[in-house]
Chains A and B, each alone.
Chain A
């Protein structure tokens, strides 16, 4: 089993749609969780951290379910500029390193 698994997509959605991405992780002792965004031929950039209580940043909402080892990202009112690859990222407790999922591709179309 991969350490971090995501649905690769692509998700093709119209502008204004709500879209949700899911991610599962294998190590129950993992402590920190993040969503990163990567544009084509660019470096990954932190989108938001994911907290146990769930957190929101504008149109973006992240949720964590430790019991199910599951993380989600919800994007409301999708914009064309949201088109990118979204990477689920987990800090594995046994090493101070970030482990990246393979990414979910989002394409928002007008």
Chain B
């Protein structure tokens, strides 16, 4: 069984489009995260939700809007996509603030053309 699953795995889209990435975890964790890994492989946190409540919101353009309908799901919607948004987006989850139980999804490779 996949612990943290993201869809789609690959996404190629044109500049200006709006797209969503979905994430689901079946680990019973109550904290979920979105990370962005750019072309230089630098992995940086974007958002974190704990029990559907936003607890971390890094300096991210407001074109990016996370949504957590329940504690097992954290989706990421991106408006007006730009070339610089091309990256791999990783979802992760942990039990509460227990950073030792961090589990990543396999990533969504977004390419904006």
Contact = CB atoms under 8 A, between A and B. Distances in A.
Interface of A: 32, 34, 42-46, 49, 85, 87, 91, 95-100, 102-103
A44 to B, nearest CB: 6
A97 B41 contact: no
Given A44-B43, A85-B41, A103-B41, A98 B102 contact: yes
Contacts of B67: none
Contacts, number: 43
B39 to A, nearest CB: 12
A28 B44 CA distance: 20
Given A98-B45, A100-B44, A43 B100 contact: no
Q: Could you say which interface size class chain B belongs to?
A: 20 to 34
Nearest to A46: B102
Given A42-B107, A96-B56, A100-B43, 10 more contacts: A42-B106, A43-B105, A46-B100, A96-B48, A97-B33, A97-B56, A99-B45, A102-B40, A102-B41, A102-B42
A99 B48 CA distance: 13
B41 to A, nearest CB: 6
Contacts of B102: 46, 98
A97 B48 contact: yes
Given A43-B90, A43-B106, A97-B48, A32 B41 contact: no
Q: Per DSSP, are chain B's interface residues mostly helix, strand or loop, or mixed?
A: strand
15 contacts: A43-B90, A43-B105, A43-B106, A43-B107, A46-B100, A46-B102, A49-B100, A87-B43, A95-B56, A96-B99, A97-B48, A100-B42, A102-B41, A102-B42, A103-B41
Nearest to A2: B42
A45 B104 contact: yes
A42 B41 CA distance: 11
Contacts of A96: 48, 55-56, 97, 99
Looking at B43, B90, B106, the one whose CB has the most chain A CB atoms below 10 A away is B43
A40 to B, nearest CB: 10
A64 B5 CA distance: 33
